[in-house]
Amino acid sequence: MKSEIIKRPRRLRTTDSLRKIVRETKISKDTLVYPFFVTEGFDIKEEISTMPGQYRWSIDRLYELFERLYESGVKTVLIFGVPDKKDEFGSGAWNENGIVQKALRYIKENYSDIYCITDVCMCEYTSHGHCGILNGEYVDNDKTLEILAKIALSHALAGADMVAPSDMMDGRIGAIRKVLDENGFINVPIMSYSVKYSSSFYGPFRDAAGSAPSFGDRKSYQMDFHNSGEAIVEAELDINEGADILMVKPGMAYLDVLRLIKDKFNKPVALYSVSGEYSMIKAGAKLGYIDEMAVVGESAVCMYRAGADILITYYAMEIAELIKTGKI
């Protein structure tokens, strides 16, 4: 019997080779960023209890991590510092001998081809755990800007290739850009955490970095997850102040926002698949409920399909292996 079906989408799904040829979403290990935590001390490789497989590293043991990075082909990192001392003003964040600054000098001396992005914030360094200077129990936006600019400059002086402010203060991109330019760092880009929501998905990170606020929450500066139009306002302000790359954070639950930002602005957009996303996959795999690597690969493709140009993820090395073996 002769069929009258002319259009058959299944034709392009008949073999693995053909499916790969016609894929709309193609991803590369070059767009993966691996975030890690560096801590004061010696001979430390301390597993983070809420993030199995992730560690706090002392500088003298970073070679173990970088051997794995080189093997995977991931060459871009996002550095978070875990200091041994904190104070009300987070002064360790801009100290030339702070943990991030020392780590940058070590990496640039020993692994010069690793591209280093640094998180610019105060929460890991303040005794109260908030992302800025306090006025009573309120984070003073404008007083915080000067400190954020000092942190960014200290990172650039230590060798940072890019800075990434995550504080969500109004005007911080302009303040940082001005200080960097005045000090000769006109070619150090800013990747702004432009659209950072106040999210429950950050829980494991706060354990990893010791950055949970000692009182209250961060809802007065991080975004309300009920809102998406506000994301356009935040991103546009950052672009106007000099942001080179925009970021949406968290990842999987915010793909609608990612697509909104990608469609609206002609800028590279990064997506941060955060600690809670990582830990949920780990927990589900441990219980035998899901195939860990299958879910990791599918999730990564979904994030790129939704508009991510850059993916920041604790699974960066595993995703690179999935790409290498042709599994995604």
Higher pLDDT, 23 or 65: 65
- % of the chain with per-residue pLDDT over 90: 84
Q: Residue 119: which of 162, 164, 155 has the closest Cα?
A: 164
- pLDDT at position 130 is 84
Query: Would the pLDDT of 282 be above 60?
Result: yes
**Mean pLDDT computed over 68-88:** 95
- Report the Cα–Cα distance between both ends of the chain, in Å, rounded: 38
Give the DSSP letter string of 23-70: -S----GGGEEEEEEEESSSS-EEE-TTSTT-EEEEGGGHHHHHHHHH
Output DSSP code: residue 194: E
Question: Which residues pair with residue 197 across a beta bridge?
Answer: 223
- Phi and psi at residue 282, to the nearest 5°: -60, -45
Cα dihedral 271, 79, 320, 312, rounded to 10, equals -10
Query: Would the pLDDT of 210 be above 80?
Result: no
Query: Would the pLDDT of 207 be above 80?
Result: no
* Greatest mean pLDDT range, 8-12, 220-224, 314-318: 314-318
Band (pLDDT 50/70/90 cuts) for residue 88 is confident
Burial class (CB in 10 A: 0-12, 13-18, 19+), 197: buried
Q: Tokens 């955060």 map to which residue? A: 274
Distance between CA atoms of 39 and 99, rounded to whole angstroms? 7
pTM of the predicted model, to two decimals?
Answer: 0.94
Question: Which residues pair with residue 47 across a beta bridge?
Answer: 55
- pLDDT at position 214 is 63
Output DSSP code: residue 269: E
Output DSSP code: residue 252: G
Query: Would the pLDDT of 213 be above 80?
Result: no
Band (pLDDT 50/70/90 cuts) for residue 211 is low
Least confidently predicted of 24-28, 159-163, 237-241? 24-28
Band (pLDDT 50/70/90 cuts) for residue 38 is very high
**Mean pLDDT computed over 275-289:** 97
Distance between CA atoms of 202 and 198, rounded to whole angstroms? 9
Mean pLDDT of the chain: 94
3-state secondary structure of 289: coil
- pLDDT at position 315 is 98
Cβ neighbours for 71, distance < 8 A, ≥ 6 positions apart: none
Band (pLDDT 50/70/90 cuts) for residue 218 is confident
Q: Residue 51: which of 276, 291, 328 has the closest Cα?
A: 276
3-state secondary structure of 81: strand
Tokens of 213: 């606020």
How many CA atoms lie within 13 Å of 59's alpha carbon, on the beta-carbon side? 19
Per the CB < 8 A criterion, the answer to whether 113 and 124 are in contact is no
For 147-201, the pLDDT digits (tens) are: 999 999 999 999 999 999 999 999 999 999 999 999 999 999 999 999 999 999 9
Relative to beta strand 310-313, strand 269-273 is parallel
**Mean pLDDT computed over 202-209:** 77
Query: Would the pLDDT of 112 be above 80?
Result: yes
Higher pLDDT, 54 or 209: 54
- pLDDT at position 132 is 86
Cα dihedral 290, 294, 297, 299, rounded to 10, equals -30
Distance between CA atoms of 77 and 74, rounded to whole angstroms? 8
- Phi and psi at residue 81, to the nearest 5°: -100, 145
- pLDDT at position 4 is 87
- pLDDT at position 212 is 66
- pLDDT at position 129 is 78
Distance between CA atoms of 18 and 75, rounded to whole angstroms? 30
Per the CB < 8 A criterion, the answer to whether 212 and 129 are in contact is yes
- pLDDT at position 215 is 67
**Distance (Å) of CA 22 to CA 13, 17, 19, 319:** 9, 9, 6, 21
Active-site residue set: 196, 249
- pLDDT at position 6 is 86
